[in-house]
Structure 1
């Protein structure tokens, strides 16, 4: 089984469509046997689902994700676990153990609204303070 994680600085990156890298884990018999960092080379949103399919990914773990990307992943046969934050390695180990905490309704719905009022990234409402006033590594509003 191959598990892909949106990736930045050892952490699950918070916005699928803007991720610059995936960490791809090869899992066999309930253990990680290898992992590698894959650059997306600027691919965005729908193209990322195709990239993951070409890499043989069975599962994607990410933070926020838009509806179009959700549909593209579904069409590619890739299982989605969104709303995940923190260590990428821990997330994969939790998935393997069946204890991954995720949000099946995680969304990133700001594509037509910009980063102001109405922006919502995986359950975090940025309208109170604006995305420019905090570190995007918390949940990645970028």
Structure 2
């Protein structure tokens, strides 16, 4: 299965504002283990176009930080499973996901667009 994580290249952490994500780290996970990973850009897509773009790459699950209502709807419409509210290392989040131990926080939402999220 392919899993995408919103990715902050400078820190290796889960990027916290879905709609402004420039990069994703894509993991190939099988039998509870990460087989490979690669960093890709957002394909020139933003906000509502990102979920269908990821789906077209074969991604099934999206691990992310915060997202606004429009992103929530776009993710659902694309058929991606989401794991929101994740912070810290993207690699650690992917490892926890592979083991079935990643706990999403569905309350994680952007409510103040126009500001930069840290």
TM-score over 0.5 for the pair? yes
Correspondence 1:34-73 to 2 at 5 A: 34-73=36-75
Structure 2 counterpart of 1:141? 117
Q: Secondary structure at the match of 1:51?
A: helix
Deviation at 1:29, TM superposition (A): 1.5
Structure 2 counterpart of 1:83? 85
Higher relative contact order (CA 8 A, sep 6+): 2
CA RMSD, Structure 1 to Structure 2 (Å): 1.5
Deviation at 1:110, TM superposition (A): 1.8
Deviation at 1:31, TM superposition (A): 1.0
Question: Structure 2, unaligned stretches of length 5 or more?
Answer: none
Q: Distance in 1 between matches of 2:68 and 2:55?
A: 18
TM-score of the superposed pair, with normalisation by structure 2: 0.90
Deviation at 1:41, TM superposition (A): 4.2
Question: Structure 1, unaligned stretches of length 5 or more?
Answer: 116-139
* Greater C-alpha Rg: 1
Deviation at 1:103, TM superposition (A): 0.6
Q: Distance in 2 between matches of 1:63 and 1:52?
A: 16
Structure 2 counterpart of 1:130? none
Q: Distance in 2 between matches of 1:41 and 1:108?
A: 23
Q: Secondary structure at the match of 2:55?
A: helix
1:48-91 Cα shifts (integer Å, max 9, x gaps): 11111111111000100011111111111101111100000100
